[in-house]
Every structure is written in structure tokens, then in C-alpha cells.
Structure 1
Amino acid sequence: MSRTDLSQTYQEQGDLFARILAALADSGRSTDRVTVEDLAPVDHFHARGFPATVELAERLPIKAGDRLVDIGCGVGGPARYLAKRFGCHVSGIDITARFVDTGNKLTELVGLTSQVEIELGDGQTLPYADAQFDGAYSQHVTMNVPDRAAFFAEACRVLKPGAFFALTEHGLGPTGDPRYPVPWSDDGRGAYLITPNETRAALEAAGFTDIHIQETGQHYLSGYKAAVAKAEAGTLPAFGVHLLMGDSAVDKIRNAGINIEEGRTCPIQVICRKA
């Protein structure tokens, strides 16, 4: 499955904005005065969702007024959270038109259009000028990026000297050959996992320095197991990121956990800066 095919798969899943609003109402939340916190269970479309975004934010040197870029922003949950928390401005870009449309509608819904905008595009060819941003981040996107060198080079290009770049991804583990389906691929097509050491080398080649890599597998494994247990018990909340993964959501989450246990994947968090 190519990146275009992956985008099309998500695109064909219907009116996501309407589904989110319906699930929001079904969960007992008001749809009249929606907040960033109300949307948090569903709009952080990456492993471990909102808690992972909060943990990453705690480590980033973001200041009020900073301009950030979210590369592969999904429906924009992290962008809205950071904009509200730090008083910064976030430009989001994603390859899936349905996510872009939904993300902008959700941003308008919570009243953050002056701080967050999302547009259609590819992280391998960013539509921004050189040295424009004070920071950049990408959460669980690179598993679907075939040209990692171009992706990192573009991130470095649009950052100001000394700006931070944060990355979370499922790296390829020592035993390799992940089980599928997983959240980023149904059958292995469109998946481009590399080892943490290869990620470090690619970042260095792109112009990043002070590269700090933290293995986060146990955190993700606990989250995956908890989600599967709730699903098997019939207590998985209706309002959650599984809304974005389709009917095979539980199988994807289960396999993501098994892959970590068996050393097939190695989730990492990376923080570095442009030289």
C-alpha cells in the first residue's frame, strides 16, 4: 500500500467530522461548547493518544508566540493542545484530505483558528520557506514515509538554527517482521520501519545534533494491553481513536502490543535540534 493508497483508505471511511460529533454526543458531552479537552480522547491519532502528546510536550522548550509545524498532524489534536497550552501558533500538514478537512472543522469548533491551521501536503516536500519555525514535531508518522532522508532534510530546512525537532515512531525491533494489521498498515504495504540506530544516522545526516533517543516500548505496551482488555470486556469507550482506525481497530492494537513483546518493533521518542 503506497502513501497515496493509505490516504485513500482513510478518505473512504465517510464523514469523519460527523462521526466524531455523533460519538461526542453519545458519550454525554455537549456539542455546543466543545473544548480541546473534550476532543482529546479521539483527536490524538497516534500510539497512546493524548497521554503521549502530554508527555512529549513536557519535554519541549515551547514558548508563547513560537511558530511550530506538526508534520503528519492527522486531525490536529496535538496542534490544538500545544497552541492552547503554550499560546503558540501551529501549522499542521497531512497527506490525507479527509483529516485536513476534519481537523480544520474541529479547530473552528474549539475557537482556535487564529492559532492553528492545517493544510494538505507531504512531509517529504514541505510547502514552507527556509528557517521559518521555532520547532517541529512528528508523532508516529515516519513508519509510512519511504524517503526518511527527504523527510528529515525538509524538517531541518524549515527550522530556524537551534530549533528543536521531536519525533515518536515505532522503530524496527531486533527480530523484525512485524505482525499485521497494525495502526499504520493493514498488511505491511506502505510500512517503512527502520531501526533506532538508523533513525539516529538519518537525523545526523539531515543536519540535526544533540539527538536524544528514549525507548518507550513498555509505556506503549501497557496502553495497548489496557485497550485490548477493555475491548474484550465490552467496555471500550465509544469515543476514542479507534473511530479513525475502522473495524479492524482492536486487531491492530493487539498486534501492535505483540510486536513490542516479541521484539519486532521498538517504539522510541526522539528530541534533537537543528545545528
Structure 2
Amino acid sequence: MSSTESCTGHWGQADLYEQILSELSALSKPLHSLTVEDLAPMDHFHARGFPATVELADKLPASSEQCLLDIGCGVGGPARYLAQRFACRVTGIDITESFVETGNRLTALVGLETQVQIELGDGQRLPYADDQFDGAYSQHVTMNVADRAAFFAEACRVLKPGGFFALTEHGLGDTGNPCYPVPWSLDGSGSYLIPIDETRALLEENGFEAIQIEQTGARYLSGYRAAVAKAEAGTLPSFGVHLLMGESAVEQMRNAGRNIEEGRTCPIQLICRKRR
């Protein structure tokens, strides 16, 4: 099984759009007036969800008239949020067919079809021309990317000179491999964590500079602990990213926090630029 097949098998699920509509109906959310904020608890499908997207967006040098690329966009929550916040255009790409279909349908529900388009494809082989985008970002995707050098090289290739690239991921910590299941892998298959220094080196080798890295482990640990505590108390909201994580969602979040606490993983947020 290829890494792509492993990843799509982990994330893909049937009838995802209908599941989301069912949850929205249970919350009495009318579809004709649905907003980006209404979807935010569920459609930012990465660690810490919507708050992490907002924190990243606060650091991005994005502006109107730009065209951005979301690599590994999931169901498109960040793409819709950035398009609305910056009045820009965002193209999303993901290897999971159900995410692409669901993402485009959700985009239509909130009326952002002219600004956001989600397509099926692989971040290690991007189907775009050289120097096409003003900026790109990828949130908690690279843990499932076997060829990190190819991923970074492709991101660099499709960016205009000087264009920005932002990344969040769980880096490999100093004390050993992660305990599974975690949100990106149930048993370790399809998981390709690397140390922070290696991430920096690969970015430099593949055309990036001005690399700024922030370790975000404390915030992520706090987020995982809070979610697990709510789940154990029976107060976890029904509409959230755990909808996309399956029956072991709580165990995944518990292990994700444990891995940070024990130094097995080291979450980071970084921003850099393509060399001119």
C-alpha cells in the first residue's frame, strides 16, 4: 500500500456531507443562512481546530487580490476562513475524495464559490504551474507525507518568488516514537514524523529562506487536555472535529497530549518565503 492509499484510507468516509447536514439540523442551523463561523467548530480539521487557524492567519502576510494554496485542505474550513478574512482567492487540494466533494458543497452553502475551489490531488505532485500562487500553507498534513523533500519542493515550485509558505505540524520529539492511536494515524502506518531541525534543513534545501519556527506544544497540550476532559464529563459538543476522527477520537486526543507531554512529539508553527 502506498503512503497516499494509506492516508486516504485513514481519513476517507462515506456520506460525510450528509453527516454534517444532520448535525447542523440537530443544532437548528438553517442552511440558507449558514456562515463560515457556523461551520468552524467542525471544518478546521487539524489540531486545535479553528483557534489554530486564526493564530496562523494572524501571522500571514496575506491580502486581497492574492491567490493562496491550501495543501491538504481537508473539508476546506481554513480556505473559506482565509478567503473571507482577506478577501482573497484560495485553491485547496486534498487526496481524500470525500473531503473534496464535501468541501466544495460546504463552500457553496456559505456562498464562497467565486473565491474558494477545492480539488483532488497530492501535495507531493501538485497539478499547478510554476510561480502561480502568492502564498501557500499546510496545517498538520506533513505527518502523513512520506517524501517531505518532494512536498516542500512542490510547494516552492508553485509559489511566486518571495511568496510565503506557512506550516503547522507535529515534529518528532527527542524521547521516542509516538504512542498510537493519534489523529493522523491509528497504528503508526502512514505516519512520517521528522525532527524540527530536519524540517528546517529540508525547507532550506528546497528553495525557502527566512524560516521562522515557533514551538506550540504548550498550547496544543492544553487544547487536547481540555477536549479530553469535556469528553470524559460528557460535555463535548456534538458538532466538532471529532466527528471526522471516528470512534477512537477521545483516545487519539489523549495520546496526542501524552506524546507532547512526554517529549515524543513537538508541535510547531513556521512561516518562510521562497527565495527570490
Normalised TM-score (structure 2): 0.98
Contact 2:10–2:185 (CA<8 Å) still a contact in 1? Answer: no
Deviations 1:97-154 (A, max 9, x none): 0000000000011000000000000000000000000000000000000000000000
What aligned pairs does 1:166-245 form with structure 2 within 5 A after superposition?
A: 166-245=166-245
The equivalent of 1:7 in structure 2 is 8
Residue of structure 1 in register with 2:152 after alignment: 152
Unaligned runs of at least 5 residues, structure 2: none
- After TM superposition, give the deviation of residue 33 of structure 1 in Å: 1.2
Contact 1:163 1:274 in 2 (8 A): yes
> Which 10-residue stretch deviates more, 55-64 or 20-29?
20-29
Aligned to 2:23: 23
Amino acid at match of 2:37: E
Matched with 2:273 is 273
Give how far 1:31 is off.
2.5
Q: Which residue of 2 aligns with 1:129?
A: 129
Query: d(CA) in 2 for partners of 1:225 and 1:261?
Result: 11
Deviation at 1:176, TM superposition (A): 2.1
2:251 aligns with 251
Q: Please tell me the residue identity of whatever aligns with 2:91.
A: S
Q: C-alpha deviations, 1:147-166, integer Å up to 9, x for none?
A: 00000000000000001000
Q: Which runs of 5+ in 1 are unaligned?
A: none
2:39 is matched with 39
Q: In structure 2, how many angstroms separate the alpha carbons of the residues matched to 1:132 and 1:196? A: 28
The residue number in structure 1 matching 2:50 is: 50
| Whole-Å separation in 2 of the counterparts to 1:8 and 1:99 | 12
Q: 1:172 to 1:9 in 2, by over 3 A?
A: closer
- CA distance in 2 between partners of 1:64 and 1:35 (Å): 20
Give distance in 2, aligned partners of 1:244 and 1:212.
31
Separation in 2 of the partners of 1:225 and 1:201?
32
Partner of 1:163: 163
CA distance in 1, matches of 2:127, 2:176: 34
Residue aligning to 2:112: 112
The aligned amino acid for 1:53 is T
Quick check: 1:43–1:241 contact (8 Å CA) kept in 2? yes
Residue 173 (structure 1) shift: 0.4
Partners of 2:32 and 2:133 in 1: CA distance: 34
Within 5 A, what are the aligned runs for 1:74-89?
74-89=74-89
The separation in 1 between residues aligned to 2:176 and 2:166, in whole angstroms, is 24
CA contact (8 A) 2:75 2:102 kept: yes
Aligned to 2:32, the other structure's residue is in SS state coil
Confirm or deny that 1:143 pairs with 2:143.
yes
Q: Distance in 1 between matches of 2:225 and 2:4?
A: 28
Q: TM-score, normalised by structure 1?
A: 0.98
Q: Secondary structure at the match of 1:269?
A: strand
Match of 1:200, SS? helix
User: Secondary structure of 2:167's match?
Assistant: strand
Q: What is the distance in 1 between the residues matched to 2:140 and 2:130? A: 24
Residue 200 of structure 1 deviates from its aligned partner by 0.1
Matched letter for residue 236 of structure 1: L
Deviations 1:60-86 (A, max 9, x none): 011101000000000000000000010
SS at match of 1:242: helix
Q: Residue type matched to 2:225 in 1?
A: K
Identity of aligned residues (%): 71
Tell whether the 8 Å contact from 2:31 to 2:109 is kept in structure 1 after alignment: no
Judge conservation of contact 1:74–1:94 (CA < 8 Å) in 2: yes
What per-residue deviation string (whole Å, max 9, x for no partner) do you get for residues 34-87 of structure 1?
Answer: 100000000000000000000000000111010000000000000000000100
- What letter is aligned with 1:184? W
Secondary structure of the 2:31 match is coil
CA distance in 2 between counterparts of 1:207 and 1:9 reads: 31
CA deviation after TM superposition for structure 1 residue 21, in Å: 1.1
Amino acid paired to 1:5: S
Report SS of the residue matched to 1:117.
strand
4+ runs of 1 displaced by more than 4 Å?
none
Distance in 1 separating the partners of 2:125 and 2:14: 28
What secondary structure does 1:108 align onto?
Answer: helix
For structure 1, which segment, 13-22 or 100-109, has the greater mean C-alpha deviation from structure 2 after superposition? 13-22
Any idea what SS the aligned residue of 1:91 has? strand
Give the match's secondary structure for 2:91.
strand
